A and B are shown apart, each in its own frame.
Chain A
């Protein structure tokens, strides 16, 4: 059985998925890539939008897509340092 992911790990997976899809991903595709339940996916994406990591855009065809903000990119850049700090200090 796969180990339960920590919150920051889930956020990293979501943001990485957006980045990997050329910073433009549909919600359904992101749900699949994130490997979360629809309820958890909704909670996480809402949090990420509210905290400014991700933007939810409406496309010309009426569909929605997620893109990373500058803060979202920053999180990805600094993720290893963040995890290292949390590990070293036992937080």
Chain B
């Protein structure tokens, strides 16, 4: 049973981290050519999310190591803080990639401070605050994307897919939140959350791959 769980967690982590890494690396050239802030934030989002899922897997493995509670507790605490920070920064960076043009000054430092604040509050004070904030952030991203889509003069299939991916991400987070609260009663729900999350990352990775088919060299 434990081995099955380990395999599932390993596969899940592998798919998410690979997708995130793929997106991050595939957009490297794009960023180096443009130094576009939106592209930078988009890449950062997947950097943080990939890192978050690695930390999540480490947290899953931690209890299996023969560590005493005096070592395990602070380690677990530290990794939890990092997990919530990286997940928060992933969500914030994705939203910032959509709205950065509306700000005259860069707000990156502010995002880091808020992400650190959320992780501290969630770990030490109000559990579940992270989930609630991320749900609000995702709802905001969905509204921005919908607004962008409706006001675009040309509408692409991928814009629709991106919108659907954000809605799925919202459902995934909501499912994760419910799992966290009701896990004792409905443990199987978490696997639905896993499937949704994998689907979201696949949509983004496919979109990046599809969109970034560089033209063959031609005389300019």
Contacts and interface: CB of A to CB of B under 8 A. Distances in A.
B159 A88 contact: yes
B104 interface: no
A81 interface: yes
Interface residues of A, number: 22
B156 A86 contact: no
B83 to A, nearest CB: 26
A87 B152 contact: yes
Given A8-B36, A78-B33, A91-B38, A85 B211 contact: yes
**Among the interface residues A7, A75, A87, which one has the most CB atoms of the partner chain B within 10 A?**
A87
B97 interface: yes
Nearest to B97: A91
Interface in B199-220: 207-208, 211-215, 217-218, 220
Interface in A24-73: 51, 71, 73
Q: Which label, helix, strand, loop or mixed, suits the secondary structure of the A interface?
A: helix
B15 interface: no
Nearest to B161: A88
A17 to B, nearest CB: 13
A7 B41 CA distance: 17
Given A71-B33, A91-B97, A86 B38 contact: yes
Interface residues of B, number: 31
Contacts of B38: 86, 89, 91
Interface in B171-220: 207-208, 211-215, 217-218, 220
A88 B211 contact: yes
Given A77-B220, A81-B212, A81-B215, A89 B30 contact: no
Contact of A90 (B148, B211, B213): B148
B39 interface: yes
Contacts of A91: 36, 38-39, 41-42, 97-98
Contacts of A88: 156, 158-159, 162, 207, 211
26 contacts: A7-B36, A75-B33, A76-B220, A77-B215, A77-B217, A78-B214, A80-B215, A81-B212, A81-B213, A82-B34, A85-B39, A85-B211, A85-B212, A86-B39, A87-B156, A88-B156, A88-B158, A88-B162, A89-B38, A90-B98, A90-B145, A90-B159, A90-B162, A91-B36, A91-B97, A91-B98
